[in-house]
Amino acid sequence: MIVTGVYEPIPLGESDRSVAVLPADKESQILFNDPTGFLRLDPSVDVQARGPNNIQTDVSIRGGTFGQTLALWNGLRLNDAQTGHHDFDTPIPLESLDRIEVLKGAGSTLYGSDAVGGVVNFISQPPESSEVRLRTSLGNFGVNQQHVELLLLQSGWTEDLSADRDFSSGFQFDRDYRNLSIASLSHHIGRLGATDIMLAISDRPFGADQFYGDYPSWERTKSWFAGIRQTLGASTEVDLGYRRHTDLFVLFRDQPQVYTNRHVLDTYQGALRRRRRFGRNTEMHYGTDGSYDSIQSSNLGAHTRGRAAAFGAIDFRALGRFSLDIGAREEVYRGLDHQFSPSVTGGVWASPKLKLRGGVSHAFRLPSFTELYYTDPATLGSPNLKPEQAWSREVAAEWRPSARILAQATVFDRSDRNDIDYVRESSGDPWQAANLGRLRATGVEASLQIPLCEGNQLTLSYTGMQLRTDLAPGLLTEYTSNYPVHNGTLNYQGAIARLLLVRTRLGVLERNGHDPYPLWDVALARANGWMRPYLQFTNLTNTAYQEIPGVAMPGRAVVGGIEIRAKLK
């Protein structure tokens, strides 16, 4: 079942949108260190990190910029109005997750601003049994990690308490980090319906050498998140959320008096969603939502921004073969400015084994506070920026020759107007935030899932794209041009003789204007038992590479540890 890209959960095979489901369940987590490891399994998702284990990670989908990707936790927004660089600075421990759903293409009809390239929804589920899980590991580069989770199941309610701690002295000068995330997930069934309460905090200080220029910088980000989802009967849901994010940036780590920025952002959000069925084949979904952002900053100043929206959609399904969804959203912000985002998607089963689908959707993105107001000697904001606009189109075919084999091919096209990036004419000029005019991204996605034997699966995936702009000759852009032209992956996950869990990913990526490079990761773990040793190898090819231009990534690394599980009565 998926909940991303649709108004209510449906089986993945019934979706008329391109949605990838990346399992992050309890059995798979021992093979990964953080949620971004799962995102790297899909070549349409470009993970642009400034360090290992989710250090200042940007995520783009289908060639969009990092600001054009919307991050959600169980449907509640995590995006940061200060800067898109903090969109995936999430306070969610790995243990809190059940799966990650990725909607590829425009999603503003459902979710509003930022869902231009796509949406990443981190999904948690109530526990099914009471147990405690402890995990500790060590690795090169001074890595020291601990993971703790307590699952409690009682009549009518469940509780999931988890915490992750990840320290490293750094693989090079000024690249040390300390990650801490703590979360509580409570689920209760009462007279009104289901209640889900989400609480989380994170604290991440890290060395930021070369992150924002040729400076030995340091940064510390903190996040607080509280959210509640309440169902009222079978057809109504109310969502409320609060997020605070703080950012302390020091340009010269050993000389904070030279240049230091402090930012505090508070975000409030709420939504009311309803659905109504007409007969057996038609459903109407409608509702309203809104958000309010407030920032206090030593550099950006004090600013606020509010948004409110109304949305609706009609979903038709007939004869088990045809589906059509027509939706629209009207969002009002900054006084009387507004954005209208319609979408049309549909699908047909041409045969019991072949499904054809396609759609057209509109999306938009409001400029961040940094893009509007930030100023330093190397970077200048622009208070007159226009919102980004985009139309996303795709056609796809899904072929299931058997119950377990799936082959997919998708052709997509996105036409953007007023995309926001930083531009300059020469390397000696400061970067200036600007609307770029028109941009077009066209590409193809293909994947083949092959079951090798029980519990073992091999997946071959490829995404290729080309991006064209109408920029003036000689004008340089900071982020738009850093997209993958070709990205292919081979992923295998399974069990050997039901004793050893194995995961391996071999990827080859070519960024625009750069040579292709390979990355090979392998993870091994004991498949069962109360004590499970494991090993995780990253960058076995020892490739020298950069996901963000100018920011080196670590070479070959290994982490080894033990996980202990105990059932509770």
Confidence of residue 330 (pLDDT cuts 50, 70, 90): very high
10 Å Cβ neighbour count for 302?
9
Per the domain annotation, does 1 fall within a domain?
no
47-61, 157-171, 511-525: segment of lowest average pLDDT: 47-61
CATH at 120: 2.40.170.20
Query: Of how many residues is the chain composed?
Result: 569
Quick check: 335 pLDDT over 80? no
Which pLDDT score, from 0 to 100, does residue 355 have? Answer: 95
Secondary structure, 3-state, 24-75:
CCHHHHCCCCCCHHHHCCCCCEEEECCCCCCCCCEEEECCCCHHHEEEEECC
Which pLDDT score, from 0 to 100, does residue 207 have? Answer: 95
Quick check: 155 pLDDT over 90? no
Per the domain annotation, does 210 fall within a domain?
yes
Per the domain annotation, does 480 fall within a domain?
yes
Which pLDDT score, from 0 to 100, does residue 538 have? Answer: 95
Which pLDDT score, from 0 to 100, does residue 279 have? Answer: 84
Which pLDDT score, from 0 to 100, does residue 460 have? Answer: 97
Quick check: 425 pLDDT over 80? yes
- For range 358-377, the mean pLDDT: 94
Which pLDDT score, from 0 to 100, does residue 216 have? Answer: 93
Which pLDDT score, from 0 to 100, does residue 221 have? Answer: 96
Which pLDDT score, from 0 to 100, does residue 297 have? Answer: 96
Quick check: 477 pLDDT over 80? yes
Per the domain annotation, does 6 fall within a domain?
no
The listed range with the strongest mean pLDDT (81-85, 242-246, 496-500) is: 242-246
Q: Please, are residues 76 and 241 in contact by the beta-carbon 8 Å criterion?
A: yes
Per the domain annotation, does 115 fall within a domain?
yes
In terms of Cα–Cα distance, which of 487, 520, 505, 414 is closest to 44?
487
Per the domain annotation, does 2 fall within a domain?
no
- For range 549-562, the mean pLDDT: 94
Per the domain annotation, does 7 fall within a domain?
no
pLDDT in tens, 169-225: 999 999 999 999 999 999 999 888 999 999 999 999 999 999 988 889 999 999 999
Dist CA 493 CA 505 (whole Å): 9
Which pLDDT score, from 0 to 100, does residue 359 have? Answer: 96
Which pLDDT score, from 0 to 100, does residue 468 have? Answer: 92
Quick check: 336 pLDDT over 80? no
Quick check: 164 pLDDT over 90? yes
Q: Please, are residues 325 and 344 in contact by the beta-carbon 8 Å criterion?
A: yes
Confidence of residue 515 (pLDDT cuts 50, 70, 90): very high
Q: How many domains are contained in the chain?
A: 1
Quick one: what percent of the chain has pLDDT higher than 90?
82
10 Å Cβ neighbour count for 169?
13
Quick check: 8 pLDDT over 90? no
Dist CA 254 CA 217 (whole Å): 9
Range of the domain at 337: 12-567
Q: Please, are residues 223 and 89 in contact by the beta-carbon 8 Å criterion?
A: yes
Which pLDDT score, from 0 to 100, does residue 176 have? Answer: 96
- For range 529-536, the mean pLDDT: 95
Per the domain annotation, does 107 fall within a domain?
yes
Which pLDDT score, from 0 to 100, does residue 474 have? Answer: 81
Confidence of residue 493 (pLDDT cuts 50, 70, 90): very high
Confidence of residue 437 (pLDDT cuts 50, 70, 90): confident
